[in-house]
């Protein structure tokens, strides 16, 4: 027997097989490692692993596989039972045994069949997105297994950077989560870095991988780190910057209060303070950008270096429109440009000023040493020296302001111009409180030069007399004007015919005139002897005391000593009075009697000299007949010693035998008619007339009035209406009269004419066919001052003045009140009563419709119709189609309650004579109380969960409205925070143009008709999910 050693090996093709629980069967393959000429067999069987027959996980399988010669592959099936249990993958043991004509392999036998559970739980982050403030420090991440399962599940997790990076913003983690059977949630913790950097929301990613016995439904999640830091403040580094004018530019620093994670911008700009961009600096504007982490940046301002002193000047700096930062300190600062030029000198232009007292004002000049580019000021003030404020000048104090470029200013000191002679006086002027300048000559003297003439010394009279027995003579010395200073003068006496040894005692001395004194006296002692020597004279002299002319004679006077031994008094003239005028040629010249007069000498010019015996009667009268002319006369008394008293004063008289000319009458003009009894009579002036008389004849009497020195007189005529005559004569100083010449008449009439009576048109007449109206009235009668004129007045306005009692006028439409007044020549007026008539040729114009406007829709049944007023309309007809007509009187509005419907309305105007031009154009009104039909929501359906789009399309059914279509819609969508979003539409579909956030929304649609009626749909809910 030959024993065959080439036996094939029978074995499973793999040590592990797998089948989905839902596959129904698993096919198991068994092979021979080579073909055989013999038929080979092998038994197969299944047994529980983790899958059990008891749990009905599979059906047991067993049997024999037969490999016919040449066959190397055979299969069998295991039935798998698909349940709904979450049990994880389970195993079945597969075993080969009892091989025939083959050997059992040991490589894969026994094998394992894994039933892969199709009821696997899902793993995901819950929630998928986390928000955490960085200041919290940690965040707990939850991973859920849904639903719970009976087997252990594991999954790996790890973090990965997004805009947040590890370790700056968080601490990266990675590990494995193990879900024991029944466990549905596990957590892990991530540390969050709390920095002080203001930055945007940052995020990093959560990742799940390598799930075992579960599947990952959503492999990623997000952690959003919310910033908890306040935005930084952007400010100027300092509130006040400074730069030298010659520095060329100023560098301005702007800072952030802390570093930021954002890119931060802020706008900057300059504007004029006291500095001008036209001459001191260049305007700059722009935007500063702080990159993340930066806290400081700068910009520059070009500075102009001029040669003009202008003081320190300022530029205003401002910040605005900050992005990712707040503006601090109002975003304002100041740049001071420090002037590099020396300030100018401000001073008086001299130390001494002079002004004549009579000039009224002294002009004082203050100068700057150089032109400045800034305003400069200095105070000025006056103070007393020898001149006193209030009496010599008016005190001044104020501020001079030199505007830029000005180098000279003046101020004035008012000077008081008195009439007082005084020495030159002076006051002090001071400058102080200079701003943007230095002081030079800061004090000056203003000298007020007296312009009053030096008062002159004089005797009060060129001749003095004193009776010999008077004892002394008082001599008065005067100053020609009040002086403000002390003045002195010397006086002395010297002989003429009077001798100091016999007739008087020589005297001399000094008179001192204190300020304000204008008169002083000195006395001369007179010696009284018994000698008949006649009057004697001595000289009085005033002598200068000034250095230049000391001792020189200023002026002289004469003192006459009247001898009282056999002297004779001077008579005085009595009549005719000095200046007398008479028309008599018989003149009695009368003077006083002197008891010891032997004769009188009468000097009558131009007649001659006459000796008149004395002493005569008391008084002395000398009568003479003289011709017409002007005479002067004086008298001297002569005593027995032939001593004359000296002549009297000279008197003058005039003999006038010529009458003056007659005056010419002026007003009231001859033949005047007046109704005013107060009349002023006026005549011409006659050069030689001293007075006038007026002769007046009234209807009752005649009288002569006067005399009047003026050429007019006002009189009240008291003798009633009638004719008055008047004439005037002139009378000269010698009582010569011109006589009454021309006679004028004046008629006084205070009685109105008879009142006319209105005839046509009769009161109340209405003219509808013609506008040419004939007026007629009765004639008025006036006995004194006719004829009468008539004035026709319409509506209070005088329209025509005429002599007739009828006239015609063409008038416009209207209501007229008319009267006629009758006026006589004296101005008296009588007026009729008032009649009324109407001119109405035209119907009232068609009014204009106002409200409700054409094509109005309303849901208010109460409608107020309004139209414009029509001139001359008495009433209106409101015509509403389908409702009727309404007569309206006294107004242009009518309120009507209307049922639902479409109405055409129009209005016409009607006057008092039922005339009309017809109706207005027709306007349409729709009254609709019924809302449109309610729309039905279609998409998205109520409760929808939408994962396919974040711009869902909204669809609803169209609403209809019979009266007030077309219908418009308002879509109202509200998010989970109750924030509504609305959009007005004319269509029944809407798709948002922006992405909607993932959350739950409610939505509804309102339908509006044109009358304002609203219907609202039901409210649907939908949710957007990723």
- Residue 1005 CB contacts under 8 Å (≥ 6 apart), including other chains: 935, 937, 954, 956, 969, 970, 971, 972, 1016, 1017
What is the spatial distance between Cα 83 and Cα 57, in angstroms, rounded to a whole number? 8
Say yes or no to pLDDT of 566 above 80.
Answer: no
Share above pLDDT 70 across residues of the chain, in percent, rounded to a whole number: 96
CATH class of the domain defined by 665-747: mainly beta
| Peptide bond connecting 977 to the previous residue in cis, omega within 30 degrees of 0 | no
What is the spatial distance between Cα 763 and Cα 838, in angstroms, rounded to a whole number? 10
What is the spatial distance between Cα 643 and Cα 991, in angstroms, rounded to a whole number? 150
Q: Is the dihedral of CA 983, 988, 991, 997 positive or negative?
A: positive
Q: CB 989: neighbour CB atoms within 10 A?
A: 13
Say yes or no to pLDDT of 549 above 60.
Answer: no
Q: In the beta sheet, which residues pair with residue 326?
A: 233
* Residue 719, pLDDT score: 87
Asked if CATH classification 2.60.40.10 holds for the domain at 573-655, the reply, yes or no, is yes
Q: Whose CA is closest to 67, among 35, 39, 91?
A: 39
pLDDT tens-digit series, residues 919-944:
999 999 999 989 999 999 989 989 88
Share above pLDDT 90 across residues of the chain, in percent, rounded to a whole number: 52
The CATH architecture one would assign to domain 233-338 is Sandwich (2.60)
Reduced to 3 DSSP states, what percent helix, strand and coil does the chain have, rounded to the nearest 5?
0, 55, 45
Q: CB 239: neighbour CB atoms within 10 A?
A: 11
Q: In the beta sheet, which residues pair with residue 43?
A: 64, 97
Domain 121-226 is classified in which CATH homologous superfamily?
A: CalX-beta domain (2.60.40.2030)
Q: Do domains 121-226 and 233-338 have the same CATH topology?
A: yes
Structure token digits, residue 177: 């989560």
CA angle 828, 829, 832 (to 5 degrees): 160
Q: Is 137 left (phi over 0), alpha (psi -120 to 50) or beta?
A: left
pLDDT tens-digit series, residues 983-1025:
999 999 999 888 888 999 999 999 999 998 999 888 999 999 8
CA angle 224, 230, 233 (to 5 degrees): 140
- Tell me the DSSP string of 607-664: TEEEEEESS-SSSEEEEEE--SEEEEEEEEEE-TT--B------EEEEE--PPPPPPP
Task: Report the topology of domain 9-116.
Answer: Immunoglobulin-like (2.60.40)
What is the spatial distance between Cα 578 and Cα 565, in angstroms, rounded to a whole number? 33
Say yes or no to pLDDT of 611 above 70.
Answer: yes
pLDDT tens-digit series, residues 339-387:
888 888 999 999 999 989 888 899 999 999 887 777 889 999 999 998 8
What are the backbone dihedrals phi and psi of residue 773, each rounded to the nearest 5 degrees, phi first? -105, 130
Structure token digits, residue 580: 């007398």
Cα distances (angstroms) measured from residue 686 to each of 93, 359, 691, 737: 171, 47, 9, 12
DSSP conformation class of 4: P
pLDDT tens-digit series, residues 738-782:
888 889 999 998 999 999 999 999 999 988 889 999 999 999 998
* Residue 565, pLDDT score: 54
Q: Whose CA is closest to 844, among 876, 815, 816, 891?
A: 876
What is the spatial distance between Cα 350 and Cα 344, in angstroms, rounded to a whole number? 17
> What letters, b where the CB count within 10 A reaches 16 and e where it falls short, cover 401-422?
ebebeeeebebebebbeeebbb
Residue, of 119 and 513, whose pLDDT is higher? 513
| Range 25-36 average pLDDT | 87
Average pLDDT taken over every residue of the chain: 88
Q: Which of 430-439, 540-549, 578-587, 911-920 has the highest mean pLDDT?
A: 430-439
Say yes or no to pLDDT of 567 above 70.
Answer: no
Q: CB 965: neighbour CB atoms within 10 A?
A: 14
pLDDT tens-digit series, residues 944-982:
898 888 889 999 999 998 888 899 999 999 988 888 888
Asked if CATH classification 2.60.40.2030 holds for the domain at 457-562, the reply, yes or no, is yes
DSSP conformation class of 849: E
- Residue 287 CB contacts under 8 Å (≥ 6 apart), including other chains: 265, 266, 267, 268
What is the spatial distance between Cα 12 and Cα 420, in angstroms, rounded to a whole number? 155
**Strand boundaries in 502-639, DSSP class E:** 508-513, 519-525, 536-543, 553-562, 573-575, 580-582, 586-591, 599-605, 608-613, 620-625, 629-638
Q: Which residue has the tokens 């105070």?
A: 379
70 pLDDT band, cuts 50/70/90, is confident
CATH class of the domain defined by 849-927: mainly beta
Q: Which residue has the tokens 């609803």?
A: 956
**Strand boundaries in 450-499, DSSP class E:** 457-459, 463-467, 472-479, 487-495
3 pLDDT band, cuts 50/70/90, is very low
- Residue 236 CB contacts under 8 Å (≥ 6 apart), including other chains: 252, 253, 254, 255, 317, 319, 329, 331, 332, 333
* Residue 587, pLDDT score: 85
Q: Is the dihedral of CA 669, 672, 674, 677 positive or negative?
A: positive
Helices (H) and strands (E) in the chain, counts: 0, 86
628 pLDDT band, cuts 50/70/90, is confident
Domain 345-449 is classified in which CATH homologous superfamily?
A: CalX-beta domain (2.60.40.2030)
The CATH architecture one would assign to domain 937-1024 is Sandwich (2.60)
The answer to whether 75 touches 55, Cβ cutoff 8 Å, is no
| Range 530-553 average pLDDT | 74
Q: In the beta sheet, which residues pair with residue 789?
A: 823
| Range 816-841 average pLDDT | 92
Domain residue limits, the chain: 9-116, 121-226, 233-338, 345-449, 457-562, 573-655, 665-747, 758-839, 849-927, 937-1024
616 pLDDT band, cuts 50/70/90, is low
Q: Quick check: helix, strand or coil at residue 470?
A: helix
Cα distances (angstroms) measured from residue 23 to each of 45, 47, 80, 509, 707: 20, 19, 7, 167, 161
> What letters, b where the CB count within 10 A reaches 16 and e where it falls short, cover 351-372?
eebebebeeeebebebbbbeeb
Task: Report the topology of domain 758-839.
Answer: Immunoglobulin-like (2.60.40)
pLDDT tens-digit series, residues 436-492:
889 999 999 999 887 767 788 899 899 999 888 888 999 999 988 877 778 888 999
pLDDT tens-digit series, residues 252-299:
999 998 888 778 999 999 999 988 998 889 999 999 999 988 999 999
């Amino acid at each position: 027997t030959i024993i065959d050693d080439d036996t094939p090996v029978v074995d499973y093709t793999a040590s592990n097989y797998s089948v989905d629980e839902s596959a129904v069967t698993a096919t198991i393959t068994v092979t021979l490692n080579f073909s055989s000429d013999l038929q080979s067999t092998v038994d197969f069987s299944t047994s529980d692993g983790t899958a059990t027959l008891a749990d009905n996980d599979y059906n047991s399988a067993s049997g024999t596989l037969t490999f016919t010669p040449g066959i190397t592959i055979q299969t069998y099936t295991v039935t798998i039972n698909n349940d709904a249990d979450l049990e994880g993958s389970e195993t079945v043991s597969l075993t080969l045994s009892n091989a025939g004509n083959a050997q059992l392999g040991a490589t894969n036998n026994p094998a394992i069949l894994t039933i892969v559970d199709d009821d696997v739980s899902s793993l995901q982050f819950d929630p998928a997105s986390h928000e955490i403030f960085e200041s919290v420090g940690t965040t707990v991440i939850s991973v859920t297994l849904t639903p719970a399962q009976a087997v252990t599940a594991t999954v790996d997790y790890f973090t990965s950077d997004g805009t947040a990076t590890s370790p700056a913003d968080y601490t990266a983690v990675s590990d494995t989560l193990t879900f024991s059977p029944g466990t549905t949630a596990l957590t892990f913790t991530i540390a969050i870095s709390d920095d002080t950097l203001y930055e945007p929301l940052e995020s990093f990613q959560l990742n799940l991988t390598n799930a075992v016995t579960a599947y990952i439904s959503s492999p990623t999640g997000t952690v959003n780190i919310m910033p908890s830091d306040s935005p930084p403040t952007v400010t100027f580094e300092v509130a006040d910057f400074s730069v030298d004018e010659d520095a060329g530019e100023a560098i301005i620093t702007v800072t952030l209060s802390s570093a930021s994670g954002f890119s931060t911008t802020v706008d900057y700009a300059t504007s004029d303070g006291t500095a001008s961009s036209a001459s001191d600096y260049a305007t700059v504007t722009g935007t500063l950008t702080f990159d993340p982490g930066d806290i400081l940046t700068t910009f520059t301002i070009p500075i102009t270096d001029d040669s003009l002193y202008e003081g320190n000047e300022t530029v205003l700096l401002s910040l605005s429109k900050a992005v990712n930062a707040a503006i601090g300190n109002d975003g304002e600062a100041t740049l001071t440009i420090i002037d590099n030029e020396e300030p100018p000198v401000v001073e008086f232009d001299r130390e001494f000023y002079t002004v004549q007292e009579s000039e009224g004002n002294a002009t004082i000049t203050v100068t700057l040493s150089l032109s400045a580019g800034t305003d400069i000021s200095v105070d000025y003030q006056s103070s007393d020296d020898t001149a006193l404020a209030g009496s010599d000048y008016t005190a001044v104090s104020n501020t001079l302001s030199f505007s830029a470029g000005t180098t000279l200013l003046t101020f004035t000191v008012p000077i008081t111009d008195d009439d007082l002679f005084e020495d030159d006086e002076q006051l002090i002027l001071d400058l102080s409180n200079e701003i943007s300048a230095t002081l030079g000559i800061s004090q000056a003297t203003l000298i007020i030069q007296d312009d009053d003439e030096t008062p002159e010394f004089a005797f009060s009279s060129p001749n003095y007399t004193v009776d010999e027995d008077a004892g002394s003579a008082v001599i008065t010395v005067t100053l020609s004007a009040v002086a403000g200073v002390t003045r002195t003068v010397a006086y002395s006496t010297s002989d003429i015919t009077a001798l100091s040894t016999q007739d008087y005692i020589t005297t001399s001395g000094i008179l001192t005139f204190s300020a304000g004194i204008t008169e002083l006296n000195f006395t001369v002692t007179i010696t009284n002897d018994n000698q008949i020597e006649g009057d004697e004279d001595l000289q009085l002299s005033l002598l200068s005391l000034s250095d230049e002319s000391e001792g020189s004679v200023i002026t002289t006077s004469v003192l006459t000593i009247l001898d009282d031994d056999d002297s004779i008094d001077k008579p005085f003239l009595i009549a005719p009075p000095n200046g007398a005028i008479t028309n008599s040629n018989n003149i009695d010249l009368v003077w006083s009697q002197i008891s010891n007069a032997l004769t009188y000498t009468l000097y009558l010019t131009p007649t001659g000299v006459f000796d008149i015996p004395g002493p005569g009667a008391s008084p002395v009268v000398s009568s003479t007949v003289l011709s017409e002319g002007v005479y002067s006369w004086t008298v001297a008394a002569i005593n027995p010693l032939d001593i004359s008293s000296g002549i009297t004063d000279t008197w003058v008289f005039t003999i006038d035998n010529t009458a003056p000319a007659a005056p010419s009458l002026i007003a009231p003009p001859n033949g005047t008619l007046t109704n005013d009894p107060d009349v002023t009579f006026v005549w011409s002036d006659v050069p030689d007339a001293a007075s006038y008389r007026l002769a007046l004849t009234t209807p009752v009497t005649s009288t002569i009035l006067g005399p009047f020195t003026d050429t007019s007189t006002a009189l009240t005529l008291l003798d009633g209406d009638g004719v008055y005559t008047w004439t005037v004569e002139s009378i000269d100083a010698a009582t010569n009269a011109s006589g009454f010449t021309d006679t004028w008449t004046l008629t006084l009439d205070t009685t109105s004419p008879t009142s006319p009576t209105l005839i046509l048109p009769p009161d109340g007449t209405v003219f509808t066919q013609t506008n040419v109206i004939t007026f007629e009235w009765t004639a008025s009668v006036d006995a004194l001052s006719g004829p009468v004129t008539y004035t026709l007045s319409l509506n209070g306005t005088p329209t025509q003045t005429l002599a007739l009692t009828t006239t015609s006028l063409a008038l416009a439409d209207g209501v007229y009140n008319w009267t006629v007044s009758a006026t006589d020549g004296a101005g008296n007026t009588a007026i009729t009563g008032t009649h009324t008539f109407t001119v109405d040729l035209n119907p009232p114009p068609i009014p204009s419709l106002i409200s409700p406007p054409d094509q109005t829709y309303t849901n208010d049944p109460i409608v107020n119709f309004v139209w414009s007023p029509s001139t001359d309309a008495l009433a209106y007809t409101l015509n509403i189609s389908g409702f009727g007509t309404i007569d309206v009187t006294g107004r242009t509005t009518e309120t009507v309650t209307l049922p639902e419907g479409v109405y055409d309305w129009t209005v016409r105007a009607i006057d008092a004579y039922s005339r009309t031009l017809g109706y207005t154009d027709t306007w349409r009104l729709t009254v609709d109380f019924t809302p449109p039909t309610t729309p039905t929501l279609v998409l998205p359906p109520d409760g929808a969960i939408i994962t396919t789009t974040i711009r869902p399309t909204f669809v609803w059914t169209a609403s209809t409205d019979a009266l007030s279509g077309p219908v418009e819609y308002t879509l109202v969508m509200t998010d989970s925070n109750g924030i509504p979003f609305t959009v007005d539409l004319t269509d029944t579909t809407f798709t948002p143009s922006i992405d909607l956030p993932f959350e739950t929304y409610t939505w509804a649609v309102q339908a509006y008709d044109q009358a304002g009626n609203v219907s609202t749909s039901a409210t649907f809910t939908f949710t957007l999910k990723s």
